[in-house]
């Protein structure tokens, strides 16, 4: 498709994340000046290559903004008891402000039990049921990083979201459900679509805002999108392009760009925002634990 046919404004997640990380860096410097070293413990179990890449990126980003990270790499055959013991140690360690356990975990470990074991004040992923409850109730919470990043990009692009009809495609605990809660608190009218939805395309076509978090390569084309709508594409999917693999979103970019008012690319959209919010949550946790924001 030629450039001339591109109508949608590109929402630059890389630039937004860089700006956000700069404010985090300043917060970290202020905390360090007052004797607090914001610290993130990262726990990785097993050899999943994608998880190793994610952890490497998180540790790198942390060091760039001055957050200390402590890596705990455990073998793939680690038992649940051993992992829970490590989490209890990290919970009790006043020098650790945030705990991130990289998912997915090996089959012998119950992910829910691990999330439940993390001190909610150190739960920088925002997955603990106390933080989920607080988010739904509209109380201060550590909120999940990916939907927080999506909301940031939407507010930056559209300003006040009040009264907008938002359609969230996907209802997972890490993206779809918290996204819907955040949009509701931002005064959107929210529709959540999932694999059992009837007439999904028609419902989506009524949206001012579309957040796609399905995990199906290029499922959403222009026929799903109201002209001028803002589209946030959370999906990260690998497709075969000749003899190479390529990352694509849940939206068919060129098709959607012809009708959308603004949209995020994949890569370079939501992905960088997720890591930026992990750093922001770590600093928030450190501030609250050291009572610096009270």
Q: Are 213 and 234 in contact (CB under 8 A)?
A: yes
The edge-to-edge listing of strands for the beta sheet with 39-45 is 68-74, 39-45, 98-101
Nearer to ligand NDP, 85 or 155 (CB): 155
| Residues of span 234-273 touching ligand NDP by CB under 6 A | 234-237, 270-271
For residue 135, state whether it binds ligand NDP (rule: CB under 6 A): no
Nearer to ligand NDP, 32 or 216 (CB): 216
Nearer to ligand NDP, 267 or 288 (CB): 267
Nearer to ligand NDP, 27 or 125 (CB): 125
Is residue 119 annotated as part of the catalytic site, yes or no?
Answer: no
Q: Which residues lie closer than 8 Å to 169 by C-beta, 6 or more apart?
A: 176, 193, 194, 200, 204, 210, 211, 212, 213, 214, 220, 250
Among residues 58, 122, 177, 280, which one is catalytic? 58
Give CA–CA dist 48/42, Å, rounded. Answer: 15
Q: Are 41 and 100 in contact (CB under 8 A)?
A: yes
Among residues 102, 119, 122, 164, which one is catalytic? 102
State the binding string over 165-194 for ligand NDP (x if CB under 6 A, else -).
----xxxx-xxx----------------xx
CA proximity to 209, closest of 156, 271, 138: 156
Is residue 155 annotated as part of the catalytic site, yes or no?
Answer: no
Q: Tokens 């404004």 appear where? A: 9
In whole angstroms, how close is the CB of 134 to ligand NDP at the nearest point? 21
CA proximity to 225, closest of 210, 246, 244, 242: 210
Nearer to ligand NDP, 120 or 170 (CB): 170
For residue 86, state whether it binds ligand NDP (rule: CB under 6 A): no
How far out from the chain centre does Cα 252 lie?
21
For residue 146, state whether it binds ligand NDP (rule: CB under 6 A): yes
Give CA–CA dist 145/40, Å, rounded. Answer: 15
In whole angstroms, how close is the CB of 57 to ligand NDP at the nearest point? 10
- So which residues are the catalytic ones? 58, 102, 125
List residues near ligand NDP by CB under 6 A: 146, 169-172, 174-176, 193-197, 200, 213-216, 234-237, 270-271, 274
């Amino acid at each position: 498709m030629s450039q001339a046919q591109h109508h949608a404004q590109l929402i630059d997640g890389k630039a937004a994340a860089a700006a956000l990380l700069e404010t985090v860096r300043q917060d970290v410097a202020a905390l360090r000046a007052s004797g607090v070293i914001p610290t993130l413990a990262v726990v990785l179990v097993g050899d999943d290559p994608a998880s190793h890449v994610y952890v490497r990126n998180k540790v790198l980003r942390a060091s760039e903004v001055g957050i200390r990270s402590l890596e705990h790499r455990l073998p793939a055959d680690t038992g649940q008891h051993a992992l829970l013991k490590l989490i209890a140690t990290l919970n009790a360690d006043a020098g650790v402000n945030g705990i991130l356990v990289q998912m997915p975990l090996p089959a012998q470990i119950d992910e829910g039990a691990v999330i439940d074991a993390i001190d909610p004040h150190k739960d920088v992923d925002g997955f603990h049921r106390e933080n989920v409850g607080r988010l739904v109730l509209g109380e201060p919470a550590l909120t999940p990083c990916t939907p927080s990043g999506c909301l940031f990009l939407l507010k930056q692009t559209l300003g006040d979201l009040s009264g907008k009809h938002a359609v969230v495609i996907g209802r997972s605990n890490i993206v779809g459900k918290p996204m819907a809660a955040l949009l509701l608190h931002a005064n959107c009218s929210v529709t959540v679509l999932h694999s059992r939805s009837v007439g999904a395309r028609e419902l989506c076509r009524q949206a001012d805002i579309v957040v796609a978090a399905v995990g199906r390569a290029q499922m959403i084309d222009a026929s799903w999108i109201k002209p001028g709508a803002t589209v946030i594409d959370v999906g990260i999917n690998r497709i075969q392009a000749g003899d190479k693999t390529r990352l694509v979103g849940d939206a068919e970019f060129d098709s959607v760009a012809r009708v959308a008012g603004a949209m995020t690319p994949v890569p370079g959209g939501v992905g960088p925002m997720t890591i930026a919010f992990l750093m922001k949550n770590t600093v928030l946790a450190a501030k609250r634990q050291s009572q610096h924001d009270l």
